[in-house]
Structure 1
Amino acid sequence: MGSMTELGYGWLTPILSYLMAVLGSALGLRCTVRAVAATGRSKRNWLLTAASAIGAGIWTMHFIGMLGFTVTGTDIRFNVPLTVLSLVSAVVFVGFGLFAVGYGTHKWRSLIVGGITTGFGVAAMHYLGMLALDLHGTLHYDPTTVALSVVIAVVAATAALWAGLNVSGPLAAAGAALVMGLAVSSMHYTGMRAVTVQVHPSNVPLHGASLMQFIFPLAVGLGSYLFLTSAFVALSPTAQERAANADAEGLRVLPAVTR
């Protein structure tokens, strides 16, 4: 009986996973900014799009990161229902946080509630994803490192929401997305540092799907969704742009009326 956890990420896997987190965060924060300026059904739809984007981004980041996770002495499979539940939990928790920001009447209270809920959503997704692992062994967690990973997620998510909502301009939006991506990535790799695996060698077949059989195709699908939604958001006018266009139309019509 042995115990060994290998985190053989190399350099490509962390970069790819971070880029997916940044893409989802950039799209989600952009949608959140638009939701704050919108009303009625439009506000709700922007917030739902933001929650799905951030949730899909952090889930994809997690499982791209898991491509580098190996344990000596056992194969690894993933419980499909729990893996799907980790995705759903990410979207739901992030959605609660974003709706708190979008509909809150007290700015700072809404921001804190939104940051805490979004951060817990990142953490819930990660540890549910880890719970979905099926291997010949037992996972053990260091409580201090687990707590640190949750704190990192909450603090960085709150900072990213604040930056996304309070600082204008493309550079600020990019910075907020980079911070949110850093929150997700830092939480993931800190959480992985909390794990040790006690291996119990066995010939019993493992249940569930391999990473390539189920999770990788789903990650590719979610990545495509993020890219397509990013294009839609980039091409759709903001409330300010619509107002400017309306003013311009009014100025063009006015001379014809007055003649």
Structure 2
Amino acid sequence: MMEINHFEYGWITPALSYALSVLGSALGLVCAGRIRAARSAGQRAWWGLLAAWALGGTAIWAMHFMAMLGFAVAGSRIRYDVPLTAASTAIAVVSVGIGLAIVGTGRLSAGRLLAGGLFTGAGVAAMHYTGMAAMRLDGVLGYDRTRVALSVLVAVVAATVALWLAMTVRRGLAIAASALVMGIAVNGMHFTGMSALSVHPHERSGDLTGAEVSGLLVPIVLAVVFGVVGLVYALLAAPTEDDRAGAAYLDARWAAEASPAVTPEPAPDPVGLRGRSTLGQPGTPFPSRRRTDPR
């Protein structure tokens, strides 16, 4: 069995992976909150897509790759199969998106939450082991079945909690606290799965195919940076409930000011004086004022 080191660079890679998972979780929770406030199916789909990218792409997959930078096997180089690596990204985003669609359509119930958590958790576990299968090294990968099952269970529980938080948490402090908890859950699942891994040497070694970590690091970091910036911009540019209320008030006020003035109707004439009086009508002379002689 070959020696494995999960923390080749010390605390740097786990700290960065935890920071990425917290950041992605916080953005995902905010985007999920916009799903509940959306007024149309198109808006719900848009915010669901952004939440899936934040949770699946940043909080889960980017965290996984950052943690893998600290993974090393003694006496072997490590390369990555690019198509399988890209497939692991798609699995993470799609599984989270489907989980959000399950719990976000209709009234939230225990059945929907369990179904969404089970599907998303299975997808997260599939993402993890697909990413591990993308590794190319001078050895054969082996897994302890008990720890693999434990990692899948952790993934399902973490996904269920994450979906519940995404549908219920609204305030800023609660979102921050929930993101910290979700970061612990995501990292716990990752390192539980990594503890199940063992590497056995090949009978014969050959040239490794695939991309080196340094070749994947730059495009992945750029994708994460632009993704986070895009998420923040989308959140800042989207109108809030206060903005909608203010716009509705201004529209109503403008409509009231732009409408023509209404001519008031004459007051009722109960005794019919207007009909009998000829005073002030055309051709009717005004009565003359005769001077009274005081003598």
Would you call these one fold, judging by a TM-score over 0.5? yes
Give the structure-1-normalised TM-score. Answer: 0.90
- CA displacement, residues 144-192 of structure 1 (integer Å, 9 cap, x when unaligned): 1111111112212222222232233101111222222222211111111
2:50, 2:231 within 8 Å by CA — same for their partners in 1?
no
Alignment-mate amino acid for residue 16 of structure 2: L
1:175 counterpart residue number: 177
Tell me how far 1:206 sits from its aligned partner.
0.4
**1:139 maps to 2:165:** no
What is the DSSP-based 3-state SS (H/G/I as helix, E as strand, rest coil) of the residue aligned with 2:74? coil
1:79 counterpart residue number: 81
Q: Kindly tell me: are residues 26 and 244 of structure 1, through their superposed partners in 2, closer, same or farther at Cα, counting changes over 3 Å?
A: same
Alignment-mate amino acid for residue 77 of structure 1: R
1:186 counterpart residue number: 188
1:111 counterpart residue number: 113
1:18 counterpart residue number: 18
Q: What pairs up with 1:1-259 in 2 under 5 angstroms?
A: 2-9=1-8, 10-38=10-38, 39-57=40-58, 58-200=60-202, 202-214=204-216, 216-249=217-250, 252-253=253-254, 256=257
2:128, 2:190 within 8 Å by CA — same for their partners in 1?
yes
1:164, 1:172 within 8 Å by CA — same for their partners in 2?
no
* Structure number with higher helix proportion: 1
Alignment-mate amino acid for residue 232 of structure 2: A
Q: Kindly tell me: are residues 247 and 111 of structure 1, through their superposed partners in 2, closer, same or farther at Cα, counting changes over 3 Å?
A: same
- CA displacement, residues 59-95 of structure 1 (integer Å, 9 cap, x when unaligned): 1111110111111121111111111110111111111
Q: Kindly tell me: are residues 237 and 45 of structure 1, through their superposed partners in 2, closer, same or farther at Cα, counting changes over 3 Å?
A: closer
What is the DSSP-based 3-state SS (H/G/I as helix, E as strand, rest coil) of the residue aligned with 2:93? helix
CA distance in 2, matches of 1:19, 1:116: 25
Give the structure-2-normalised TM-score. Answer: 0.80
Which structure 2 residue ranges, 5 or more long, are not aligned? Answer: 262-295
CA distance in 1, matches of 2:194, 2:111: 31
1:136, 1:201 within 8 Å by CA — same for their partners in 2?
no
Report the number of matched residues: 257
The structure with more radius of gyration? 2
1:104, 1:110 within 8 Å by CA — same for their partners in 2?
no
Which shows bigger deviation, 235-244 or 56-65? 235-244
2:81, 2:210 within 8 Å by CA — same for their partners in 1?
yes
Tell me how far 1:201 sits from its aligned partner.
6.4
CA distance in 1, matches of 2:15, 2:164: 25
Larger RCO, structure (CA 8 Å, separation 6 or more)? 1
Tell me how far 1:217 sits from its aligned partner.
1.8
2:33, 2:169 within 8 Å by CA — same for their partners in 1?
no
